[in-house]
Amino acid sequence: MNFQPLTPDLIAAFEQIVGEAYVLTAQRAEADVYADYGRDHTEDLHFAPDVVLRPGNVDEISKIVRLCHEHHVPVTARGAGTGLSGGALPVHHGVVLSTERLNRIIQIDERNLQATVEPGVINEAFQVAVKEVGLFYPPDPASKGSCSLGGNLAHSSGGPKAVKYGTTRDYVLNLEVVLPTGDVIWTAANTLKNSTGYNLTQLMVGSEGTLGIITKVVFRLLPYPQHNILMLVPFRREEQAAEAVSAVFRAGVIPSGMEFMEREAIAWSSDYLKIPLTLPEDIKAHLLIELDGQDMDQLYKEAEQVYGVLEHYDVGEILLADNATQKDELWKIRRNIGNSVRYNSVYKEEDTVVPRAELPTLLKGVKEIGARYGFKSVCYGHAGDGNLHVNIIRGELTDEQWNVGLRQPITEIFELCVKLGGTISGEHGIGLVQKGYIGIALQETNLELMRGIKKVFDPHGILNPGKIF
């Protein structure tokens, strides 16, 4: 791509559009604030933007993007910066366009079980707001307290509840999008069904800010499930934990959460949070299983069915959370595994995903590859979806080992995923750090189609350059 540098004239034009207070440059922002816009939660990577813009509405974004399109300046949209694949990193510098000020919940439509929101709304804030009127927005990434809905859309984020309720993708009805030319469209209609032309909505979701900047979203919602049951099941053998996942579904139960945590994952996180947890020597892994619904009797029956399945495995004492505090603590442990790993060491996160029943084979393969190449990994994730997060720990690895030596084993892990019918990212996206591996998952013909689509939307290639392919 042939990008142009940012000129003082362009900076002045941006100031005209968004107001001086919302234009940050290295010269006149506090150094650490400014630096933060050049990183996300991916390893320890940093790329400096030339300018950070914090527009307040769709018109401003349209004007900014139109200018950048005309002047061939890269624009990297940014939500809350919690991404794990480097999607928000401005690798070609230029403009970082933060959506943090587009943070309004515009409407919660109780008649239609829908809501219209801006992309800068924090996931959990949205969940809480709709819950207040008895409604439910299920997608809940581990970072729900800090990640933005716009970022969730960019990567089609999942979270524990995806196993029953699907990912972000499944709740989007309609998107307002600023195209790379500055034009603004709505992708669809506010309906549950739509067979009117190509599905631009689903093309936009998961496109990681390379096809347009989402400025409004219409989500569908569900009635809030009034009750839940949460159990922590300790296994003496890791593969059995992975095997039990598939067995529960085959018994006809669809849990609202089915999380796998190997011993180290749960140990590191409970230490990090200072939540005491008994971990007998012989326990190698846990499943955290949640059931939800509108009726407690029904949940007890389902729990009995789950217990029936678990009898066939070598499990320790099952902890059935008996109050809200205990449930919160268990979920907190699960959600903070990533943070606890980050607290211990820089790490690379591989977001592997396979058909659910192939999880034991994947897990074994990951450990075997790790042993062969001499790296340690902490594994956990959404076992109900076959989505295993493999955290490769830097520990004492040298720069050479870390930056070059891991390429071959990571390639082997991804090749195993594909062999098992899976792929290389379930919910984190390709972004920057998985880009080099995309050829493992997708044929060149697929990539050619994607590049062709990119060109239709973004002829000058200004939106989030250097990502995906």
Binding to a copy of itself (CB under 8 A) within 440-469 occurs at 441-443, 445-447, 449-450, 452-453, 455-457, 468-469
Chain centroid to CA 149: how far? 10
Angle at 13 between CA 7 and CA 19, to 5 degrees: 125
Q: Does residue 318 bind a copy of itself (CB under 8 A)? A: no
Query: Among 338, 365, 429, 461, which residue sits at the site for a copy of itself (rule: CB under 8 A)?
Result: 429
Q: Does residue 156 bind a copy of itself (CB under 8 A)? A: yes
If the CB atoms of residues 23 and 420 are measured against a copy of itself, the closer one turns out to be 420
Neighbouring C-beta atoms of residue 271, cutoff 10 Å: 15
Q: Which two tokens stand for residue 323?
A: 């109050």
* H-helix or E-strand spanning residue 164: helix 162-165
If the CB atoms of residues 91 and 267 are measured against a copy of itself, the closer one turns out to be 91
Q: How far is the CB of 224 from a copy of itself (least distance, A)?
A: 8
If the CB atoms of residues 119 and 139 are measured against a copy of itself, the closer one turns out to be 139
Helix runs in 336-437, H state only: 337-344, 359-373, 399-400, 407-419
Contact between residue 87 and residue 97 where contact means Cβ atoms under 8 Å apart: no
Percentage helix, strand, coil, to 5, in the chain?
40, 20, 40
Q: Which of residues 223-262 bind a copy of itself (CB under 8 A)?
A: 223-224, 226, 246, 249-250, 252-254
Q: Does residue 294 bind a copy of itself (CB under 8 A)? A: yes
Q: Which of residues 92-131 bind a copy of itself (CB under 8 A)?
A: 109-114
Phi/psi of residue 30, nearest 5 degrees? -65, 140
From CA 287, how far away is CA 231, in angstroms rounded? 8
224-236 residues labelled b (16+ CB within 10 A) or e (exposed): bbeebbbbbbbbe
If the CB atoms of residues 101 and 435 are measured against a copy of itself, the closer one turns out to be 435
If the CB atoms of residues 87 and 409 are measured against a copy of itself, the closer one turns out to be 87
Order of all β-strands in the sheet with 213-220: 105-109, 114-117, 213-220, 172-178, 184-186
Q: How far is the CB of 181 from a copy of itself (least distance, A)?
A: 9
Contact between residue 259 and residue 381 where contact means Cβ atoms under 8 Å apart: yes
Query: Among 1, 222, 320, 324, which residue sits at the site for a copy of itself (rule: CB under 8 A)?
Result: 222
Q: Does residue 191 bind a copy of itself (CB under 8 A)? A: yes
* Part in contact with a copy of itself (CB under 8 A); list of ranges 217-225, 265-273, 335-343, 392-400: 217-225
* Part in contact with a copy of itself (CB under 8 A); list of ranges 48-56, 199-207, 256-264, 324-332: 199-207
If the CB atoms of residues 30 and 297 are measured against a copy of itself, the closer one turns out to be 297
Q: Which of residues 386-405 bind a copy of itself (CB under 8 A)?
A: 386-387
Render 76-108 in DSSP notation, one character per residue: EEESSS--SSSTT--TT-SEEEE-TT---EEEE
Q: Which of residues 332-351 bind a copy of itself (CB under 8 A)?
A: 351
If the CB atoms of residues 38 and 212 are measured against a copy of itself, the closer one turns out to be 212
* 102 burial via Cβ count (<10 Å: 0-12, 13-18, 19+): buried
Count of residues of this chain found to bind a copy of itself when the rule CB under 8 A is applied: 94
Q: Does residue 45 bind a copy of itself (CB under 8 A)? A: no
Contact residues for 93 (Cβ-Cβ < 8 A; gap 6+): 47, 48, 49, 50, 74
If the CB atoms of residues 28 and 111 are measured against a copy of itself, the closer one turns out to be 111
> Bridge-partner residues for 286, per DSSP?
234, 261
Q: How far is the CB of 324 from a copy of itself (least distance, A)?
A: 21
Query: Among 438, 460, 461, 466, which residue sits at the site for a copy of itself (rule: CB under 8 A)?
Result: 438
Q: Does residue 58 bind a copy of itself (CB under 8 A)? A: no
If the CB atoms of residues 283 and 353 are measured against a copy of itself, the closer one turns out to be 353
Q: Does residue 143 bind a copy of itself (CB under 8 A)? A: no
Q: Distance between the two ends of the chain, CA-based, in angstroms?
A: 13
* Part in contact with a copy of itself (CB under 8 A); list of ranges 15-23, 119-127, 290-298, 313-321: 290-298
From CA 20, how far away is CA 130, in angstroms rounded? 35
* Part in contact with a copy of itself (CB under 8 A); list of ranges 5-13, 29-37, 94-102, 182-190: 182-190
Query: Among 19, 355, 395, 436, which residue sits at the site for a copy of itself (rule: CB under 8 A)?
Result: 355
Query: Among 183, 282, 304, 317, which residue sits at the site for a copy of itself (rule: CB under 8 A)?
Result: 183
* 136 burial via Cβ count (<10 Å: 0-12, 13-18, 19+): middle
Q: How far is the CB of 160 from a copy of itself (least distance, A)?
A: 12
Q: How far is the CB of 434 from a copy of itself (least distance, A)?
A: 8
Contact between residue 94 and residue 47 where contact means Cβ atoms under 8 Å apart: no
Residue whose C-alpha is closest to residue 262's, from 240, 284, 282, 243: 284
Contact between residue 18 and residue 144 where contact means Cβ atoms under 8 Å apart: no
Q: Does residue 412 bind a copy of itself (CB under 8 A)? A: no
Q: Does residue 426 bind a copy of itself (CB under 8 A)? A: yes
